[in-house]
């Protein structure tokens, strides 16, 4: 989607370059941006169980990231045996490791990714009901439609034959040479072709979101730590 301003094109201020942001299918958007976040959330429980178990049994100190990597590299049985776990700990560790294995398993499509995340919750210790496990994933996938994040905008359609639902992702900029774009009805050898134009209201909303993404000024971690410290201590101050 072109975000170069019309006035820049009119006055040739773009110097032959057209700035664009990608339009992702719903499946592409979820697999690239939402599924990894859901994986991290679901992984917290089995990782916490494994860390707690290793501390209690005086096992080796293993980072959370390494536990996730290990769960993919070897079978749950092999890892539990390497950690010298026994009895209930052995069984619980196998469940947690199998859960991590499913969470981080490669998936060919969104349906397979959702299924793996549901199965990961069901094979963990004290699993939820199957419908709750499924809703825990689907509700997070639905959230970007209801409340789009600041760096994306949902479009149900943007051209004839393109009405399956899409997300415009505003953080990834691409520049295309103007001569590589065909804008007329005459077909010529071009890498890109203009197929539609959004209504002005949607264009304005998209450009406003794009500007806000890059206007935000991040602050250092120390600032956030001090902010949280002051927030936590306000109760002591008022006592």
Domain ranges in the chain are 27-146
The structure tokens 């101050």 sit at: 237
For 15-41, the three-class secondary structure string (H helix, E strand, C coil) is: CCEEEECCEEEHHHHHHHHHHHHHHHH
Closest C-alpha among 126, 158, 132 to residue 45:
126
pLDDT at 77: 95
Find, among 137, 89, 145, the residue nearest to 115 by Cα: 137
Does the CA dihedral 115-118-122-123 come out positive or negative? positive
pLDDT values of the chain reduced to their tens digit, one per residue, 239 residues: 998 888 888 889 989 999 999 999 999 999 999 999 999 999 999 999 999 999 999 999 999 999 999 999 999 999 999 999 999 999 999 999 999 999 999 998 999 999 999 999 999 888 999 999 999 999 999 999 988 888 999 999 988 889 999 999 999 999 999 989 988 766 667 888 888 888 888 888 888 888 888 887 778 888 888 888 888 777 565 55
Q: Name the pTM for this structure.
A: 0.80
Question: For residues 213 and 4, what is the distance between their CA atoms, to the nearest angstrom?
Answer: 16
Q: What is the pLDDT of residue 50?
A: 95
């Amino acid at each position: 989607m072109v975000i170069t301003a019309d006035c820049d094109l009119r006055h040739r201020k773009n110097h032959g370059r057209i700035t664009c942001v990608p339009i992702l299918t719903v499946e592409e958007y979820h697999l690239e941006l939402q599924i990894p976040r859901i994986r991290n959330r679901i992984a917290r429980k089995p990782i916490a169980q494994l860390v707690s178990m290793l501390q209690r049994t005086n096992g080796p100190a293993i980072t959370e990231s390494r536990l996730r990597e290990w769960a993919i590299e070897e079978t749950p049985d092999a890892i539990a045996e390497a950690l010298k776990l026994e009895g209930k700990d052995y069984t619980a560790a196998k469940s947690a490791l199998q859960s991590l294995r499913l969470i981080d398993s490669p998936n060919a499509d969104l349906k397979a990714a959702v299924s793996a995340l549901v199965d990961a919750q069901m094979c963990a210790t004290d699993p939820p009901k199957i419908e709750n496990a499924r809703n825990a994933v689907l509700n997070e996938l639905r959230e970007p439609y209801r409340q789009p994040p600041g760096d994306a905008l949902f479009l149900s359609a943007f051209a004839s034959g393109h009405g399956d639902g899409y997300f415009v992702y505003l953080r990834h900029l691409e520049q295309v040479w103007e001569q590589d774009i065909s804008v007329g009805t005459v077909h010529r050898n071009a890498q890109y072709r203009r197929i539609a134009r959004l209504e002005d209201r949607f264009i304005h909303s998209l450009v406003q979101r794009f500007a806000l993404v890059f206007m935000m000024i991040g602050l250092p971690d120390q600032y956030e730590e001090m902010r949280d410290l002051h927030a936590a201590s306000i109760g002591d101050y008022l006592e």
